[in-house]
Amino acid sequence: MQYQAPANDLGFLLFDVLGVDKLHELEKYADATPDLISAVIEEAGKLASEVIQPTNQIGDRQGCQYNPETHEVTTPDGFKEAYAKFVEGGWTALDAPLEYGGQGLPHTLKFVVDEMMCSTNLSLGMYPGLTHGAISALHSHGSDELKDTYLEKLISGEWTGTMCLTEPQCGTDLGMIRTKATPNDDGSYAIEGTKIWITGGEHDLVDNIVHLVLAKLPGAPDTTKGISLFVVPKVLPDTGERNPAFCGGLEHKMGIKGSATCVMNFEGAKGWLVGEPNDGMRAMFTMMNEARLMVGMQGLGLAEMAYQESLDFARERLQSRSLSGKKNPDGPADPIIVHPDVRRMLMRQKVLNEGMRALALFTGQKLDLAVAHPDEAVREASDDIVQLLTPVVKAFLTDEGYNNANIGLQVLGGSGFTTDWPLEQLVRDGRIARIYEGTNGIQAMDLVGRKLGLKGGQLVRTLFGELTGYLKDNPEAPHREELKGAMKALESTTMWIGTNAPKDPEQAGAAATPYLRLMALTVIAYLWSRMAGVAQAQLDKGEGNTPLLEGKLISARFFFEKLLPEIDMLQKDIETGKDSMMAYGDDHWAA
C-alpha cells in the first residue's frame, strides 16, 4: 500500500493541542506561520509517499555494495535520485541556521519530516539524518573557520556527515578508545585508528563525507576526560585531495540494509580539532542528543507504517464470522477487523502511536521554546524538560515502535512472516533503533543516573510542575483521577530512587528501565488527557473533524483503561529493589 502521511493527526496535535502554530510569534521563528507549517506537512507527505517509499523494498533486497579494491560503497538503485530530490526540495536545510544557508524553521517541523522519512525508508533517511547532528556539533563547538568551511555544504546536502565513536574494543565505555590524533606542523592532526558501525561512512550519494571523529591527543588522560573531537573530511576542501580515511568493509546486518554501516580506517588522515582539547565528549553529546531524538522518530515512523499496513490488511482479509453475527453477509467470511483480538492489536498500535507522536512533538516544542523564547525562565524550564525527556523519547518510542511493528506482523498472520508483505522488513529494520545511539538500557541509566540529579533535581521538578499546573488549571480534565494516580506513582518511585540509589548504585541500575517506562506512560497520559479535552471542547462547539475527534475520545479511554494500568506493575518492579535479580552467584547460572 502507499503510505499516507498522518496529516489530520499532525494538524490536531500541532495546532489544536500544542499550539505550535503560535511559534511564529517568536522572532526566531517568524516565518513558521500556520500556512507554512501546513504546507510543510503536505509536501513532506508527498515526498515520502511518491519519492522515498518506492526505494524502500529494493534497498532492503539489494543492500549496499562494497568494492574492496577502491574502498567505495554503492547504494541501492534509486537512492541517489531520491536523495537528490530530497536535497533539491531544501529538506536538509529545514531547521538549520540561516547564516549558513538554512531555513531556520522550528525543530518540531524537523521531527515531523523525520517521522515521514523513517516510515517510508529508514535506511535512506539515515544519510541526511546524521548529517544534521554533525551540523549541530560544528555550529555549537567549531571555530569560525571550520563553520565557514563545512556548514554551508552540509546544510545544503551537497556533503553528508558522520559520527565516529565506536571501536572494536569499546562502545558505551568510550574512555577505552585507541584512535590517536598527532599534531601536524600546519595546525592539523594526523588521525590514526579504526572505527566500526559508522552509518554513512562511505557511499555514493555525495562527493564528500565529513567525519566527526573521537580521538586522543598525546598525553591525554586515559578516560573520557581525555577525548577530543576532530573533523576529518573524505576529500580535503582546500586541495581536493583524497584524505586517507577509507571504508574497510560493510557490516552484515539483520536490517537497514540500504544504510551503509562501515568499518572506517583512518590512516594518518588529516583532521582539525573541534572545540577544546580533551573536551570532545561535551561536543559529541550535542550531536548524540540530536541523534537520540531522531532515533526516537525512527521508532515512531516504523510503527506508523506498520499500523497502516496492518489496518489495511485487517479491513480486506476475510476469515471466520464475527462473534456478534455476520458483518459481511454477501461474502464467505467477515474481515478480520471485526474480531476483538485483532481490534486489541490495532487499537494498541493506533493509541500508542498517537501518544508517542504527542510525546515527541511536545518535546520538540519545548526544544524550540528553549532556544527561541524571550523569557529566560521559560527557556530554562523548557530546556529542563528536553534534557529529561530526550532519553525517554529515544527509548520508549523505539521499544514501542518495534513492539507495534511486531504486533502489525501478527495481524497479518502467516502473510506477515513472508517477504511478500512489508511487515517483516519493518520488524527487522526497527530492531536496531533500540540499540544504536546508546542502548535503551543506557538511556534509562542516563535518566536515573544523570538527569534526575541534575541541578539538584530541578529537571524532574519542572516536569511535575507542568503536570500539576495542568490539573490545577483544568479541574474537569478528562481522566483526571487516572492521571493523578500515574503522577503519584512517578513521584513515589522518584523518591524511592532518590532515597535508595545514593546508598546502593545497583538499586538505580535495577530501577532504571521500569522507571523510564513509567515516566513515559505518565507524560503520555498527561498528553492524552489534553487531547481528549480539546476533542471534547471542539465536539461541544460543533467544530472540527468529527470522526477524528470522536476517535480521540475513544482512544483516550482505551489508553487509560487498557495501557496505563501497567504503571502498577512498574511501580512494584522499582520498589521491590534489586535483590531477586542480583542474588544469583556464578554457580547458579549453569545449574
Residue 287 near residue 137, CB atoms below 8 Å = yes
User: What's the CA gap between 406 and 423, in Å, rounded?
Assistant: 8
Residue tagged active-site, from 241, 437, 482, 575: 437
Percent helix, strand, coil in the chain (nearest 5)? 65, 10, 25
Nine-digit cell string for 210 = 565529513
Strand partners, 264: 195, 247
How many Cα atoms within 13 Å fall on the side-chain side of residue 231? 35
Rounded CA separation 132/113 (Å): 13
List, in sequence order, every residue forming a beta bridge with 263; answer none if it has no partner.
Answer: 249
Please state, in angstroms and rounded to a whole number, the distance separating the CA atoms of residues 360 and 386.
10
Q: What value, to the nearest 5°, has the Cα angle with vertex 102 and ends 100 and 106?
A: 135
**158 is an active site residue:** no
β 180-183/245-250 pair status: unpaired
Confirm if 430 and 421 have CB atoms less than 8 A apart.
no
**Contacts for 28-31: CB closer than 8 Å, 24+ residues apart:** 28/104, 28/371, 28/372, 29/104, 29/105, 29/106, 29/368, 29/372, 31/103, 31/104, 31/105
CA dihedral 401, 405, 408, 409 (to 10 degrees): -160
CB 223 within 8 A of CB 175: yes
Q: Closest by alpha carbon to 299, among 404, 369, 211?
A: 404
Separation CA 425–CA 118 (nearest Å) = 13
* Distance in angstroms between the alpha carbons of the first and the last residue of the chain: 51
DSSP structure string for 357-424: HHHHHHHHHHHHHHHH-S-HHHHHHHHHHHHHHHHHHHHHHHHHHHHHHHHHHHHHGGGGGSTTSTHH
Cα gap 304→7, rounded to integer Å: 12
Catalytic sites, residue numbers: 437
